[in-house]
Amino acid sequence: MEPRFGAEITPDYFPMEVGLDAAIDYAKGCYLGQEPIVRIRDRGHINWRLVGLDIAGSDDPAALDPIETDAKPKAGRVTSASRLPDGRGVALAMLHTSVPVGATIRIRHGDARIDAQVRAEAVGG
């Protein structure tokens, strides 16, 4: 799965949270939103990051489904979900940086709870 405009890439998140650090020209003159972008660069800290999820089981999450862990009840939200040709479920999600790669998370999909594993910070393939 690849990040898409309107799903993962939205005005709700900074470019570096969705992996678009290289798209920022820090040498450019003044621009709208420059201060928080430079602050993030200089402090080296973001709160959210785009991750891939491996979905357990046959239930599929949907965009905007909330993600939780025992340690962080509001850990993030699903942005996109799909099935691979081999039938495995995958999703992209904006996840709090405190949730590590490899962690098992829960997705609330209506009354259902769907387990998933955080597979990578980098997305693709």
Distance CA 66, CA 110 (A): 10
pTM of the full structure = 0.83
CATH classification of the domain holding 19: 3.30.1360.120
- In three-state form (DSSP H/G/I as H, E/B as E, the rest C), the secondary structure along 21-42 is HHHCCCCCCCCCCHHHHHHHHH
| Res 92: pLDDT | 95
Question: What is the number of structural domains in the chain?
Answer: 1
Q: Which residue has the tokens 């709208």?
A: 32
Where in the sequence is the domain holding 39, given as residue range(s)?
A: 1-125
Give pLDDT tens digits for 47-78.
899 999 999 999 999 999 999 999 999 999 99
Any residues with CB less than 8 A from the CB of 13 and at least 6 apart, and which? 48, 50, 94
Digit-coded pLDDT (tens) for 72-109: 999 999 999 999 999 999 999 999 999 999 999 999 99
